[in-house]
Structure 1
Amino acid sequence: MSPPVNRRPTGRHHGDLRNALLRAALELVGERGPHGFTLAEASRRAGVSVAAPYKHFADRETLLAELATQGYREQLTRFAEAVGGSDDPGEQLACFAAAYVRFAAEEPALFDITFHAGLDKSRFPALASAGDEVSALLLPVARRLSPDPDDAFDLLLRVAGAAHGLAVFLRQGLFGAGDAALADTAERAARTARAITGQL
């Protein structure tokens, strides 16, 4: 997913610079992982001077935090659509698990930044807030199955953890490659979620 391009009525240079740097960083993460590039490399990839990023980003972590925030927002959109397809909480969590796998496969760079960049959320309030929005969407679903808040959180972690593991296995090629492997893994995640919720 490419970061959205901001249009400014007074001129596009600064908006384009910011978005060009975000796109360049996302490409580099896709090639090397979230720890495998510098701001200088992102600058060169974007075709700007090595000093240019500091007009918008204090450091590499600040740039990654903005991409991670976009990652959470993309998750929120996908997961809201997934859980909106059913009124049954067990099936909603199954659909969430499948959507989790699809997000990891279809947006690998955003997935890696969101979960593997090791960002300190206390330093980036917008990132923390975006993550909280995803939890706020899913925890009420879990609480319909486990009314106790701690139990609901544990349930959600079990479902998400299973989906995360399957997503990583898919990324590593354990289930094959291509659309069929993705569809099979998404369905496997949904079945695992149903097995988890079926134990309640």
Structure 2
Amino acid sequence: MAKRGYHHGNLKQALVEAALDLIAEKGPQGFTMAEAAKLADVSAAAPYRHFTGREDLIVELARQGFELFADLLEYAYRDGQPSPLAAFEAVGRAYLAFARKHPGHYVAMFESGISPNATRDLATACARANKVLVRAADDLSQRLPPDRRPPTEMFAAHVSAMSHGIVELYARGAPGSRGPFTPEDLLETGIGIYLRGLGFLEPDR
């Protein structure tokens, strides 16, 4: 793994980028601050100008990740979708796309054991991303009579859990290495079954 350095003068971001590489390779508990400093090509003491320790560094990774995640979800949701269902499905696909493109951020956000309420900034970024998921679920829920609508937050949480499970089981490594179906196909059919069960879609004939 090549050293990153911080020729642009932003030591804090250089350490973040080094930690992203280390997390993707070794996991959130598999690296030390000294390793992050070495990869950023700075002294072992330099990281402590910005972070109190590894957990503080991971919190910053998670915060940046949720900001990126929210940006991607908002783009997917607003990108001229023809219907609430199409927009909802686009948000699900964006979840998978984010996990593939930003594995270090994804691990910091969802697999590091860091509480989303660890800092105010992290909580705000997390809430912003979750707001898109809840809004997509709420818009789709309007297709059902009020007495048949599921709790919107629970609806969004179910789809998030499904998406996360597919990432964990099928979106790691080479495509198709865990089965004949793509993660996108699995998510689409899983969401379809879930929505039919709630009454959003007509049963298959």
**Superposed pair shares fold, TM > 0.5:** yes
RMSD of aligned residue pairs (Cα, Å)? 2.6
Counterpart among 101, 106, 120 of residue 125 in structure 1: 120
1:32 aligns with 2:30: no
Q: Which residue of 2 aligns with 1:68?
A: 62
Q: In structure 1, how many angstroms separate the alpha carbons of the residues matched to 2:162 and 2:117?
A: 27
Gaps of 5+ in 2: 1-5, 200-205
Q: Which residue of 2 aligns with 1:188?
A: 186
1:92 Cα deviation after fit: 1.8
Q: Which residue of 2 aligns with 1:81?
A: 75
Is the CA contact (8 Å cut-off) linking 1:75 and 1:103 kept in structure 2?
yes
Is the CA contact (8 Å cut-off) linking 2:96 and 2:163 kept in structure 1?
yes
Is the CA contact (8 Å cut-off) linking 1:145 and 1:152 kept in structure 2?
no
Which structure is higher in helix share? 1
Q: Counterparts of 1:42-53 in structure 2 under 5 Å?
A: 42-53=36-47
Q: In structure 2, how many angstroms separate the alpha carbons of the residues matched to 1:187 and 1:103?
A: 16
1:87 Cα deviation after fit: 4.6
1:174 Cα deviation after fit: 8.8
Gaps of 5+ in 1: 1-5
Higher RCO, 1 vs 2 (CA within 8 Å, ≥6 residues apart): 1
1:96 aligns with 2:91: yes
**4+ residue runs of structure 1 moved beyond 3 angstroms?**
145-150, 171-175
TM-score normalised to the size of structure 1? 0.82
Q: In structure 2, how many angstroms separate the alpha carbons of the residues matched to 1:72 and 1:110?
A: 8
Q: Which amino acid aligns with 2:157?
A: L
1:123 Cα deviation after fit: 3.0
Q: Which residue of 1 aligns with 2:170?
A: 170
Q: Cα gap change, 1:67/1:43 in structure 2, threshold over 3 Å: closer, same or farther?
A: same
Q: In structure 2, how many angstroms separate the alpha carbons of the residues matched to 1:112 and 1:123?
A: 16
Alpha-carbon deviations, 1:12-43, whole Å to 9, x = none?
53x2x112111111111111011111111111
Is the CA contact (8 Å cut-off) linking 1:98 and 1:186 kept in structure 2?
yes
1:77 Cα deviation after fit: 1.5
Aligned residues: 185
TM-score normalised to the size of structure 2? 0.80
